[in-house]
């Protein structure tokens, strides 16, 4: 709808992961710590269920960042940075 914008819309981000699939670098910045991780599964009742694996990260440059990966090892996105 014109004039409306989503808050907290996900934005693509470049993430390198370690062998366990946990983010090791985000946009070239090393991940200091994974503060929390959680899984969101929603719309399981539809033909297009939503599944996201979220990571709350502390980066080497001092920033805190929340990223997620879509189902099936898809692209990475940042959200509510």
Partner 1 sequence: MELACVIDKRLAAQLRPDRAWGPRSGRTGLPDPVEAGEATETMVRALETLGAAVESEQSGEAFFAVDGLRGLYGGEAAGVLAAAQRAVGEEFQLGTGRTRFTAFLAAVGWARPVPVAALRTRLGVSEREAGELIEALERLGIGTLRAFTRLSADQVADRFGPLGQRALRLCQGEEEALRPRTPQVELAEEIELPEGTAGCRLDRALELLVDRLLAAPQRQGRTLLGLRLGAVLASGGSWSVEQGLGRPSASAKVLRNVLVPRLEELPGPATSLRLRAVGLGPPARDQLELSVGGSEPRRRRLGAAIREVRAVQGAEALLKILPVDSSSRVPERWGLLTPFPEL
Tell me: does residue 1 bind partner 1 (CB under 8 A): yes
Helix (H) or strand (E) holding 2: none
Site residues for partner 1, 27-56, by CB under 8 A, read: 37-40, 42-53
Helix (H) or strand (E) holding 80: none
> Which residue, 30 or 71, has its beta carbon nearer to partner 1?
71
Say how many C-beta atoms besides its own lie within 10 A of residue 64's C-beta: 12
Q: How far is the CB of 17 from partner 1 (least distance, A)?
A: 13
Residues that bind partner 1 (CB under 8 A): 1, 3-10, 37-40, 42-53, 71, 79-80
């Amino acid at each position: 709808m014109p004039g409306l914008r989503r808050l907290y819309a996900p934005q693509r981000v470049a993430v390198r992961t370690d062998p366990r699939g946990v983010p090791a670098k985000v946009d070239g910045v090393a991940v200091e710590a994974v503060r929390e991780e959680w899984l969101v599964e929603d719309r399981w009742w539809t033909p297009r269920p939503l599944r996201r694996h979220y990571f709350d990260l502390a980066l080497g440059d001092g920033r805190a960042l929340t990223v997620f990966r879509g189902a099936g090892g898809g692209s990475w996105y940042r959200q509510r940075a």
